[in-house]
Amino acid sequence: MNLPLSAELIAETNAREVAALEDDYGSLGRKLSRSGIDIDAIKHRVANFSVAVPSWGAGRGGTRFAKFPIAGEPTNIHEKLEDCAVIQQLSRVTPRVSPHFPWDKVSDYAALREEAASLGLGFDAVNSNTFQDQPGQAHSYSTGSLSSTVEATRQQAVEHNIECIEIGRQLGSTDLTVWVGDGTNFPGQQDFARSLDRYLDAAAQVYAALPGDWRMLLEHKMFEPAFYSTVISDWGSSILAAQELGPKAKCLVDLGHHAPNVNIEQIVARLHRFGKLGGFHFNDSKYGDDDLDSGSINPHQLFLVFNELVEAELNPRDGFNPSYMIDQSHNVTDPIESMLSSAEAISQCYAKALLVDRQALHAAQEANDTMMAFQALRRAYTIDVAPILAMARMEAGGAIDVLTAYRDSQWRVRKAQERKAVGLGAGIV
The contact set with Mn ion (CB under 5 A) reads 254, 281, 327
Least separation, in Å, of the C-beta of 253 and Mn ion? Answer: 9
Cβ closer to Mn ion: 400 or 429?
429
Cβ closer to Mn ion: 181 or 275?
181
Least separation, in Å, of the C-beta of 221 and Mn ion? Answer: 8
Cβ closer to Mn ion: 157 or 217?
217
Least separation, in Å, of the C-beta of 217 and Mn ion? Answer: 10
Cβ closer to Mn ion: 80 or 281?
281
Rounded to whole angstroms, the Cα distance separating 222 from 278 reads 18
Buried b (16+ CB within 10 A) or exposed e, 404-414: ebbeebebbee
3-state secondary structure of 316: coil
Cβ closer to Mn ion: 221 or 272?
221
3-state secondary structure of 177: strand
Least separation, in Å, of the C-beta of 286 and Mn ion? Answer: 17
| Contact present, 307 and 265 (Cβ < 8 Å) | yes
Residue partners of 176: CB distance under 8 A and separation at least 6? 125, 126, 128, 161, 164, 165, 168, 206, 210, 214, 215, 216, 217
Cβ closer to Mn ion: 147 or 283?
283
Cβ closer to Mn ion: 73 or 327?
327
Rounded to whole angstroms, the Cα distance separating 323 from 162 reads 20
Least separation, in Å, of the C-beta of 424 and Mn ion? Answer: 25
Least separation, in Å, of the C-beta of 256 and Mn ion? Answer: 7
Residue 95 CB neighbours (<10 A): 18
3-state secondary structure of 387: helix
Least separation, in Å, of the C-beta of 327 and Mn ion? Answer: 4
Amino acid letter, 254:
D
Cβ closer to Mn ion: 210 or 429?
429
Residue 359 CB neighbours (<10 A): 10
Least separation, in Å, of the C-beta of 281 and Mn ion? Answer: 4
Cβ closer to Mn ion: 92 or 258?
258
H-helix or E-strand containing 335? helix 335-354
Least separation, in Å, of the C-beta of 196 and Mn ion? Answer: 21
H-helix or E-strand containing 97? strand 96-98
DSSP 276: -
- Residues paired with 52 in a beta bridge: 325
User: What Å distances lie between residue 355 and 300, 383, 384, CA to CA?
Assistant: 15, 9, 11
| Contact present, 295 and 328 (Cβ < 8 Å) | no
3-state secondary structure of 52: strand
DSSP 287: S
If phi > 0 it is left, if psi is from -120 to 50 it is alpha, else beta; for residue 296 that is alpha
Cβ closer to Mn ion: 328 or 409?
328
Amino acid letter, 261:
N
Least separation, in Å, of the C-beta of 75 and Mn ion? Answer: 23
